[in-house]
Amino acid sequence: MKITIRLIVSLTFVVALVAIGSSFYQVREERIRLASELERRVAILAESLRESVIPLINPDSPQKLHRLVERFGNRERLQGIAVYDSQGAVLASTADLKEQASQPIPQVVRSITDNQTASDFIHIGSKKTYIYALPLIHEDKTLGVLALFHNASYIDVRLSDIWKHNLFRFLILSLLVVAITVLVVRWSVTGPIAQIASWIRDLRMGKEKAGRPFISPGKDALDPLISEVSRMAKSLAMARADAEEEAKLRLQADSLWTAGRLKEHMRVELGGKKLFLVSNREPYVHTKEGRNVRCIIPAGGLVTALDPVMRVCDGLWMAHGSGDADRETVDDNDKIRVPPEEPAYTLKRVWLTKEEEDGYYYGFSNEGLWPLCHITHTRPVFRLDDWSHYRTVNERFAEALLKEIAREKSPLILVQDYHLALLPLLVKKKRPDAKVALFWHIPWPNPEAYGICPWHQEILLGMLGADIIGFHIQFHCNNFLETVDRFLESKVDWERFSVTRGGHTTSIKPFPISVSLESLTRMAPAGEEAPKEHVRKEIGVQADYLGVGVDRIDYTKGIPERFRAIERFFEKSPEFMGKFTFVELGAPSRTHLKRYRDLMAEIEETVEKINWRFQTKKWKPIVFLKAHHSHEAIAPFYRASDICMVTSLHDGMNLVAKEYVAARNDEDGVLILSQFTGASRELKDAVVINPYDIEKTADAIRFSLKMEPAERSGRMKRMRATIKEHNVYRWAGNLITELARLRLPETVS
């Protein structure tokens, strides 16, 4: 109520100021207009009378002059006329002006003295009068003055009416302002605030309905408040859920990792030290869309896994700034706080030229190391220029990182993936007190395959600059140790899984990366209706069964093999035609490279061929959605699908498999998983396949679709339990604990 009164008083005061100011202006302009109009009218009359009066100014014509004055002196609003001789004596005047005309009138005296027109407003009795004195000149001789007295009281009446009318308008406007203010405040402010307050009260009291998103009443002014309150409510709900989960774990004496436990664990382990994470790919990219800037999350498992970790440790993530609006959004130190909606850590961007990006990223990293490490029958390409750019970019990252850690004592550094294989040694040379871990997200090949690389020794030496090298599975650790044993003079300790060279020891350990089950589950709250019908409408296809594949378009993912298996499935199981549709959510990647453009063309051609062969008017077997999809957009497809196919030909881990399991809080659905993924070592209850075997993969699709509900549910429960226990927080906790507790040699300062 107080805010309404203050708003009404303020608005009324402003309206009053505007009304008074405009009235003053209107009165002034009207006074000037009426005075000008009166002067013009009187001047015209005086000029017309002057020619008649001049011949009558002589001793022989007093009667004629009196008659002329009397005849014209009774016109509307004309109080009278007077004629004076050159000495100022009255020769003739209207009867009403005899007394006033006989008195010395300044305007008449001035007109005689200056021999020019004189006019002004005077008061005669109680009347406001306008006097106009016109000299009577004949043959360059002033004979006298003609004075016209005009009633000007109507001007004050007119100006008074203006004030009265404006006062009336002000009162009406004030009443309207009061009424509209009360309605608008109640409709747009107090009403919605009361709803928000009620919703927050329910949330505070833990009522079930408070967990639902707040539905805005459509008031734009409160949208920012509603948005922030909704985020706060979501954070509170998540915190409450985490607290309840922690309480359960304490009661059960369980050892599950959560975001809260990781945060507390890192606080103890790091002792206030900052974690420095370095990768090629940045977790948030700013791009231009017309005049606007949009923040997107790049596709890939690295961001999926590491973003939740960085949120709880408030560290610094250094990465290549690849977005066309990235430079516009950082500060003078090339930094920005992320995520945009709820900043939790710092992102520092490193800038590369187009030539450096082509050579370092598209060339050596993705035409050389990527196919080298993935045994997918794509020949690696190694060029000297690419290798030079690769070294230059690694040096640039090292230079930027060394500036950031300059004031840190024994900084903790976590380097990500094959793009930055030389970075650990570059940092260690300048900062031997730094604790450096390198996590290799892709497979490590056998020594024979790795030996193809012309610079295999340089890469190994760069990697061994790290104190810890992590792979997804033990098999890749074994391959790496065999490779080092083959190509470098060093001491390989197979018992402790370490490499010692030049007095520096590097531990080689498996750290199976994972996802956050809770964060993916929250995208599809329990009790929500399964979104299968929503997905059907979105893809425009009616089908009883749905399958889903979520991939970055890459030749290692086995997408063409997957589609050929689906084609063979329809050949062997025609009863599913019209009933089963597979949806592929494909994110385009590395389109600068011919191999990837050819792959995209092959995929689109395969989809078109299969659809042309089997589709009907209302149904088609494959829907290919080529775009970058957010986790929120993918979640409904995970939950709506009866099967999820992960058919990688060679993969370090593949987090899509774990994301699908994490999203299925309804404990339904079947995961068809390639035996060549790291995830197949953990998710034993998936239907494991050889993606090269088209016949067996087609049979696996049929087997999964016909699986009994109880078996589907049992498999999914066990896989969810595995991911719940071996989640991303455990991965981060184990890796960072190893790094933080690392004891460097005493000789190193």
Residues 625 and 482 both lie in one domain: no
Strand-pairing partners, residue 58, are none
Contact assessment for residue 440 and residue 469, using Cβ atoms and an 8 Å cutoff: yes
Q: For residue 466, give the DSSP letter.
A: S
**Single-letter code of the amino acid located at 717:** K
In this prediction, residue 48 carries a pLDDT of: 82
**CA atoms lying within 13 Å on the CB side of residue 437:** 25
Question: Which residues of the chain fall below pLDDT 70?
Answer: 1, 59-61, 73-76, 101, 203-255, 299-301, 519-530, 746-749
The verdict on residue 285 lying in a domain is yes
What domain count does the chain have? 4
Residue 739: inside a domain, yes or no? no
Strands of the sheet with 545-552, listed across from one edge: 622-626, 580-587, 545-552, 643-646, 670-674, 687-689
Determine the 3-state secondary structure of 602 from DSSP.
Answer: helix
Looking at the fold, whether 233 and 134 belong to one and the same domain comes out as no
395 and 246 within one domain = no
Whether residue 113 contacts residue 50, with contact meaning beta carbons closer than 8 Å, is answered with no
Range of the domain at 715: 523-725
Strand partners, 654: none
Residue 733 in domain: no
Structure tokens at 712: 């589907």
pLDDT at site 416: 94
Tokens of 691: 């993606």
How many Cβ atoms sit within 10 Å of the Cβ of residue 372? 25
Domain boundary among 460, 486, 510: 510
- Are 470 and 433 in contact, with CB atoms under 8 Å apart? no
Same domain, 139 and 271: no
- Taking the C-alpha atoms of residue 545 and residue 702, their distance in angstroms, rounded to an integer, is 11
Residue 616 shares a structural domain with residue 675? yes
**Judgement on whether residues 496 and 541 belong to the same structural domain of the protein:** no
Backbone torsions φ then ψ of 74, nearest 5 degrees: -105, 20
**Dihedral over Cα of 113, 114, 117, 120: its sign:** negative
Please report whether residue 732 resides in a domain: no
Q: Tell me how far CA of residue 355 lies from CA of 360, 381, 385, in angstroms.
A: 8, 17, 10
CA–CA gap between residue 721 and residue 674 (Å, rounded):
20
Amino acid 746: pLDDT: 63
Distance, CA of 490 to CA of 374 (rounded, Å)? 26
Taking alpha carbons only, the member of 335, 334, 291, 343 closest to residue 314 is 343
Specify the residue for token string 């909704």. Answer: 230
Asked if 624 and 685 sit in the same domain, the reply is: yes
Residue 282: which of 327, 312, 325, 317 has the closest Cα?
A: 317
Same domain, 450 and 318: yes
Exposed, middle or buried: residue 426 (CB in 10 Å: 0-12, 13-18, 19+)? Answer: buried
Query: Please, what is the end-to-end C-alpha distance for the chain in angstroms?
Result: 68
Residue 63 CB burial class (10 angstroms; 0-12, 13-18, ≥19)? exposed
Verify that 227 and 80 share a domain, yes or no. Answer: no
For 379, list phi and psi in degrees, rounded to 5: -70, 130
Mapped onto helix, strand or coil, the DSSP state of residue 175 is helix
Contact 313, 306 (CB under 8 A): no
Positions of E strands within 247-334: 275-278, 285-289, 292-296, 316-320
CB within 8 A of 640, min separation 6: which ones? 530, 531, 532, 534, 535, 536, 546, 548
Beta-bridged to residue 319, according to DSSP, are 349
If we measure between CA atoms, which residue out of 549, 546, 521 comes closest to residue 704? 546
Whether residue 393 is found in the same domain as residue 527: no
Pairing of strands 687-689, 622-626: unpaired
CB–CB of 487/447 below 8 Å? yes
CATH code of the domain covering residue 97? 3.30.450.20
Q: How many residues are there in the chain?
A: 749
Position of tokens 């027109």? 117
Same domain, 580 and 621: yes
Supply the Cα-derived Rg of the chain in whole angstroms.
45
Query: Could you tell me which residues come within 8 angstroms of residue 276 by beta carbon, excluding any fewer than 6 positions away?
Result: 315, 316, 318, 401, 404, 405, 411, 412, 413, 414
451 found inside a domain: yes
Structural domain includes residue 193: no
What is the DSSP-derived secondary structure letter of residue 187? I
* Cβ atoms of 93 and 69 closer than 8 Å: yes
Beta bridge partners, 136, equal 144
- Residue in 618, 707, 612 with CA at minimum distance from that of residue 669: 707
Query: Which H/E stretch holds residue 223?
Result: helix 223-252
Please give the model's pTM, rounded to 2 decimal places.
0.68
Q: What is the pLDDT at residue 210?
A: 45
**Rounded to whole angstroms, how far apart are CA atoms 547 and 534?**
14
In a domain, 735, yes or no: no
Final residue in a domain of this structure, among 254, 276, 306? 254
Angle at 637 between CA 635 and CA 639, to 5 degrees: 70
Amino acid at the residue 79 = Q
* Per-residue exposure over 563-599, b if at least 16 CB sit within 10 Å of its own CB, e if not: bbbbbbbbeebeebebebbbbbbbbebbeebebbeeb
How many Å separate Cα 349 from the centre of its chain? 18
CATH label of the domain that carries residue 706: 3.40.50.2000
Residue 66 domain flag? yes
What tokens were used for 663? 């999203």
Instruction: Retrieve residue 518's tokens.
Output: 């809770």
244 & 352 share domain: no
Tell me if 136 sits within 8 A of 53, measured CB to CB.
Answer: yes
DSSP assigned state of 749: -
